[in-house]
Structures are given as structure tokens and as C-alpha cells.
Amino acid sequence: MSSENVSLWDEFFKGIGRMNPVYVLLLGLCSSLAITTRMENAIVMGIGVIFCLVCSNIIISAIRRFVPEDVRIPVFISIISGFVTLFGFIARAYMPAIYVALGIYLPLITVNCNLYGRAEAFAQNNPVMPTFMDGLGIGAGYTLAILGIAFVREALGFGEIMFQDLAQFTIKILPFQVGVLQQPAGGYIVMAGYLISFTYLSKRKERKRKEDIAEERKRTMENRVKGVN
């Protein structure tokens, strides 16, 4: 039982770190660059993706034995699209300002590569429980990633963090604005910054591990040579 729990948590955490959808798998880039001008939009987008991803993953995993291989694309995508439409209604009713700000990117969650990607790569081959954790983890990883981009873009681009719809407050951060970060180019710049630093860190970690292994091997060899002598 305990080992099963461990593997379920593993499914969850791999989405945040090792298999982060935005920085490692490079999926769902469109929405993560387009709607990250404000933190508030990013939060709602993240909730939307988690909701649609988890729900559609569960359904796809539950019906995986009844879907013929040839028609799986239309079947999966209409399940996903159903949940996206549902989330659109919820957002329109309770967060009208954000619904307008997200614009076409909210219906486009349907074609967010993460959702279809997880259906194809994970949900259609795995039972419901791991699929649920996988969806939750990938969704959380995606949300954290876009929150990171949105924080930099809003804090530097507008000089303040402003919430209007979910809560109402404004935090002043800078006395000036870095205008380029509000524009589409800003999304690419911040994304590139994050991506380069993460790649650099993971490469360095890997190199260090390889050096450690080499060191270890050298030491055991020396010990063995000493032992023979």
C-alpha cells in the first residue's frame, strides 16, 4: 500500500519538476506567453487548465478500453472541448472581467498541447487513479510556470501587481515601467530567461553528477590497486 502511495505522489511531483510542461516538455507555450501580462489572468488560466486537464483525463482513462485506435483523436478532443466549454461558462458567470481579458485563449485551452498530450501519452494507457495524480501534477506545474512568467512581466512591466476581480489590491513594486514586458515580445524575453537558467542549472547538476561518478570510480579503482599490492 505504502509503495503505491509513493508512486502516486511521484506522478504528482514529476509534473512540477522533472517533467514540467512548460520548461521541460515545452508544451502549452502559446497560452503561457499570451495571457501572462497579469498575475490574475494567469491564476484563472491555471485553474482552467487544471480543471479541464484533470476532468478530461479521468474520463479518457475510464473509457480507454472502449475507444478504437482510429477515432481516438476526435473522441479525446471532444471530451476535452466539452470541459473547456463548461469552464468558459463558469468563468463568464463569476469572473466577467477576466473572461474578457483572456479572450480567445480561454476557448483555446482545447488545443493546449498539454491536454491532448497527456491524453495521448498517459491517460489512454493508465488506470484512473494515477491519471488523476498525473493530471493534477502537470496542471500544477503549468500553473506555477505561468505564474512565474506573469509575476516578472507584471511586476516589472507595470511596476505594480494589481488584482481587480479575484481580490482587490495593488502592490507597488517599481517606480517606473519596463514597457517592453507588457508587449508580446516581453513574453518571449521572460520565457527565454527562465528557460536558459533552468537548462543551465540542470546541465550543471548533471555534469556534477557525472564528475562525482567518475571520482567514485577512480577512488574504488585506486583502492583495488592498493588492495592487490
Residue 161 β-bridge partners? 171
Helices (H), strands (E): how many in the chain? 8, 2
Q: How far is the CB of 208 from another protein (least distance, A)?
A: 14
Comparing C-alpha atoms, which of 60, 65, 75, 66 is closest to residue 131?
Answer: 60
Build a one-symbol-per-residue string for 145-184: x at contacts with another protein by CB under 8 A, - elsewhere: -----------------------------------x--xx
Measured at the alpha carbon of residue 41, what is the angle toward residues 31 and 83, in degrees to the nearest 5?
Answer: 65
The residue (of 8 and 108) whose beta carbon lies closer to another protein is 108
Build a one-symbol-per-residue string for 22-51: x at contacts with another protein by CB under 8 A, - elsewhere: ----xxxxxx-xx-----------------
CB 76 within 8 A of CB 55: no
Comparing C-alpha atoms, which of 27, 169, 44, 172 is closest to residue 102?
Answer: 44
200 contributes a contact to another protein by CB under 8 A: yes
The residue (of 15 and 88) whose beta carbon lies closer to another protein is 88
Instruction: Find the binding residues for another protein in span 62-121 (CB under 8 A).
Output: 73-74, 77-78, 81-82, 84-85, 88-89, 104, 107-108, 110-113, 116
The residue (of 104 and 167) whose beta carbon lies closer to another protein is 104
DSSP 8-class letter at 66: T
User: Residue 44 and residue 57: Cα distance in Å, rounded?
Assistant: 20
Sequence letter at residue 65? R
Residues in the site for another protein, rule: CB under 8 A?
A: 26-31, 33-34, 73-74, 77-78, 81-82, 84-85, 88-89, 104, 107-108, 110-113, 116, 180, 183-185, 187-189, 191-192, 195-196, 199-200, 203
